[in-house]
Amino acid sequence: MASDTAAPTSPEGAAAAPAAGPLAGYTVVDLSRALAGPHAGQIFGDLGARVIKVENPAAGDDTRSWGPPFVGPEDDRQATYFLSCNRNKESIALDLKSPDGRETLEALIARADVLVENFRGGVLDRLGFSTQRCLELNPRLVILSITGFGHDGPDAQRAGYDQIAQGEGGLMSLTGSGPDDMQRVGVPIADLLGGIHGVLGVLAALLERERTGRGKVVRTSLLAGMIGIHAFQGTRATVAGETPAPGGNHHPSISPYGLFACRGGAVQISVGNERLWQKLCAAFGLDPAAEGMADNAARVANRAAVTRAVEDAFSAYTADELIAKLAEAGIPSGVVANLQEVYASEQVASQGLKITVDHPVLGAIDLPGPPLRFFDVGADGEVETTLTEHSAPPLLNADADTVRAWLEA
């Protein structure tokens, strides 16, 4: 069961955080900064929890200064980076080295269900908030600790930065056009996966708490996030003894599967079985039994020849024409959209993947939306219960009075 918390309100009495959702009634204290921890906190907020972000009074979360781009008036510029990972939260600024800061954090911990932190190992201990101390204050507390490389082992004290984790976790060795062109993923994927895996662990711990009545510590890292998504590339290394290398825009184990040039552009196709290969060949006049193309293993071994044959067949079509023809033939296909095109998509809008919030400085702004939807199912069918009212990422210390009043109530 969740802690005994009330729905947060603004000084004017209006709701300041989600009042519905699967985690309604739960309280999360978010001590984290940058991206991995804040992304986890944002997910908790999207799921309906009250998320109280504790920030450094001097400048707040590091990402408040990460830019460009910045938006808004010249005297109150807002970092779009911060806006990406802090919706559905309240902000209170606390100096954790001061008596007031420590006392306020103690009170928050005592009322919370979850504490999120991504400090380097030992920092919270030195501030007087070791895991033992936090669980003394609140035995039902679930603590999420996200580090760069794990809380123990020879690299425990290394700072966790996304690109370094992408490199040392092997992801960059798999990404790029070839062995001499290794690339980072275009988003901080190690940070994001650290947050996502952390949320998964916390939800499991909250379920366990229903049986035991006790909280616990959940630990993950950016390195763990990278290893956790190696999938078939990992077993190529551990089982087959291979060392995977970047393969560009083509699948290393399936052919044809990837990005193929056409007239004035390119399209992606996914020919994941022999039935689809037969359909592709029938639609574009290819010989499905040609030498080196009779089955998937042969096509993978002869990928360059398969790619040339497919691109020769596609060269007569523009991307739009080709997408239509592939759809008619039943071949999974798509284009490579830029982000402006993505957020203009009717499908994206229909899934709630773009939301509008009212920011106190910027006014109405569009943000990427949460990736989960929820439904109740009854005799009359499904009724969506997804949280649709979201609050904008907070200004620094904007909710201090509200949070303090709640603690004193």
Per-residue pLDDT tens over the stretch 317-371 = 999 999 999 999 999 999 999 999 999 999 999 999 999 999 999 999 999 999 9
Q: What is the pLDDT of residue 14?
A: 36
pLDDT tier at 112 (50, 70, 90 boundaries)?
very high
Is 14 buried (19+), middle (13-18) or exposed (0-12) by CB count in 10 A?
exposed
The whole-number average pLDDT for the span 98-125 is: 95
Q: What pLDDT shows up at residue 17?
A: 41
CB 265 within 8 A of CB 259: no
Burial of 299 from C-beta contacts in 10 A (0-12 / 13-18 / 19+): buried
Tokens encoding 68: 């460009």
Once rounded to an integer, what is the mean pLDDT over residues 380-403? Answer: 94
Would you call 324 helix, strand, or coil by DSSP? helix
For residues 165-176, average pLDDT: 96
For the record, the structure tokens of 264 come out as: 């004035």
pLDDT at 50: 97
Average pLDDT over residues 107-132: 94
What per-residue confidence (pLDDT) applies to 89?
98
Mean pLDDT of 273-286: 96
Residue 227 confidence (pLDDT): 97
Per-residue pLDDT reduced to its tens digit, 47-101: 999 999 999 999 999 999 999 999 999 999 999 999 999 999 999 999 999 999 9
Residues marked active site are found at 191
Tokens 């707040």 belong to residue: 60
What's residue 128's pLDDT? 93
Predicted confidence at residue 120, as pLDDT, reads 85
- Is the pLDDT reported for residue 12 higher than 70? no
pLDDT at 122: 85
Give start-end residues of each CATH 3.40.50.10540 domain in the chain: 27-230+386-408
Four-residue CA torsion sign, 399, 402, 405, 409: negative
Check whether 293 has a pLDDT greater than 70. Answer: yes
pLDDT on residue 121? 81
Percentage of the residues of the chain whose pLDDT score is greater than 70: 95
Residue with tokens 């603690």: 407
Q: What is the mean pLDDT of residues 98-117?
A: 97
* Architecture of the domain made up of 27-230+386-408: 3-Layer(aba) Sandwich (3.40)
Closest CA to 113 of 137, 155, 142, 73: 142
- What is the CB neighbour count within 10 angstroms for residue 105? 23
Residue 7 has pLDDT above 80, yes or no: no
- Portion of the chain with pLDDT greater than 90, in percent: 90
pTM of the model: 0.90
Q: For position 262, what pLDDT does the model report?
A: 97
Average pLDDT over residues 29-52: 97
Residues of the chain with CATH 3.30.1540.10: 257-334
**Cα gap 371→42, rounded to integer Å:** 12
Is the per-residue pLDDT at 10 higher than 80?
no
Q: Is the pLDDT of residue 108 over 90?
A: yes
**How confident is the model over 135-149, as a mean pLDDT?**
97
Counting beta carbons within 10 angstroms of the beta carbon of residue 190, is it exposed (0 to 12), middle (13 to 18) or buried (19 or more)? buried
409: pLDDT confidence band, cut at 50, 70 and 90? confident
CATH class of the region 257-334:
alpha beta
Q: Looking at mean pLDDT, say which of 87-96, 157-166, 374-383 comes out highest.
A: 87-96
